[in-house]
């Protein structure tokens, strides 16, 4: 699988990363899915301390221990969970980040994290303090690089201007084009975009093509109504889908067509999902005609309304 450089770092990541949140808590099954990802050429694995209250990091670390130097492990910080593990609160303080990284390192069974990401962020955060924490962790050798996971343009701009982030993880799809507001600026500043939510909760996957007429109700997404979603899918199906091109391919290739995007991170709870997504990202890139049609039918007004 093709690899791309993440921002100004020396991290070379597969253009499809495995989002590990959906692995579950069964160690044997998680190892099978991660092995299937490795077999497809995936070297980029994204987790977070919050997923299953640390269990996800443990599973990822265990599965990748024997090939630690061959993979890129990304995790996240900022959500402090309660002692009873029944909820969490936002804490981007320097003190918490520097405590949390040591716990993540222990769960992952590694002495360094390739990409440490702030798991959210608001404009009211102590941003300079947060950046200072990440910079110290870099200088101390606990992390190689850092980034943020955010869809807030004002927060993203602050980190681009004031820090050395190498990536921003954002929800991005044909139905959610909000990130386009900042993508050009990120590209100019040498910050890569890592996308999630590329199939819009399954609406842009091939399974949607088999639903019946009376099953469209409840398929709203952001400010798209069920009827708009139905019409959009039908227009894409009529114009672009054929034996050699699937809806899943179009959704993932749409993300990868943006020059700011280094990788799409997709979740998987089965081996077959890994294989399907790998086939999609390894398929032919969008033609100019496909790209133009997809941009036309999704309308920019749908993302500018969400600023």
Pair of tokens at residue 262: 């280094």
The CA-atom distances, in angstroms, between 292 and each of 2, 136, 203, 255, 295 are 24, 44, 20, 14, 5
Distance CA 50, CA 187 (A): 29
Q: Residue 250, SS3? A: helix
Q: What is the CA radius of gyration of the chain?
A: 19
Exposure of 152 in the CB half-sphere (CA atoms within 13 A):
15
What is the bridge-based pairing of β-strands 79-81 and 192-196?
Answer: unpaired
N-to-C CA span, the chain:
35
Q: Residue 17, SS3? A: strand
CB 89 within 8 A of CB 80: yes
What is the bridge-based pairing of β-strands 79-81 and 88-90?
Answer: antiparallel
Residue ranges in the chain assigned as alpha helix (H): 27-39, 55-64, 94-108, 127-139, 153-162, 180-188, 226-240, 247-256, 271-281, 288-298, 301-304
- Single out the catalytic residue among 44, 51, 221, 224: 51
Angle at 11 between CA 72 and CA 153, to 5 degrees: 95
**Annotation says 51 is catalytic:** yes
- Going by C-alpha positions, the residue among 75, 179, 77 that lies closest to residue 133 is 77
Beta bridge partners of 143: 113
Q: What is the largest CA-CA distance in the chain?
A: 58
DSSP 125: S
List the catalytic residues: 51
């Amino acid at each position: 699988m093709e690899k791309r450089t993440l921002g100004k770092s020396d991290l070379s990541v597969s253009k499809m990363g495995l989002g590990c949140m959906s692995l579950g808590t069964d160690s044997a099954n998680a190892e099978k899915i991660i092995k299937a990802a490795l077999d497809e050429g995936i070297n980029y694995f994204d987790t977070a301390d919050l997923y299953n209250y640390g269990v996800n990091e443990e599973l990822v670390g265990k599965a990748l221990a024997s090939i630690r130097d061959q993979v890129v492990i990304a995790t996240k910080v900022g959500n402090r969970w309660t002692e009873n593990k029944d909820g969490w609160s936002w804490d981007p303080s320097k003190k918490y980040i520097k405590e949390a990284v040591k716990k993540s390192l222990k769960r992952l069974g590694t002495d360094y994290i390739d990409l440490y990401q702030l798991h959210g962020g608001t404009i009211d955060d102590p941003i300079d303090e947060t950046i200072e924490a990440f910079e110290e962790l870099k200088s101390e050798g606990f992390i190689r690089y850092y980034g943020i996971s955010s869809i807030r343009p004002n927060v993203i701009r602050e980190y681009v201007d004031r820090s050395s982030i190498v990536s921003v993880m954002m929800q991005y799809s044909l139905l959610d084009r909000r990130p386009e507001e900042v993508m050009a600026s990120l590209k100019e500043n040498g910050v890569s975009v890592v996308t999630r939510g590329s199939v819009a909760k399954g609406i842009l996957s091939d399974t949607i093509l088999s639903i019946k007429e009376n099953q469209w109700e409840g398929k709203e997404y952001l400010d798209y109504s069920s009827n708009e979603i139905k019409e959009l899918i039908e227009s894409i199906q009529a114009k672009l889908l054929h034996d050699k091109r699937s809806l899943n391919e179009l959704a993932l290739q749409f993300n990868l067509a943006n020059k700011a995007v280094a990788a799409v991170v997709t979740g998987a709870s089965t081996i077959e999902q890994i294989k399907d997504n790998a086939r999609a990202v390894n398929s032919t890139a969008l033609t100019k005609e496909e790209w133009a049609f997809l941009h036309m039918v999704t309308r920019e007004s749908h993302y500018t309304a969400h600023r």
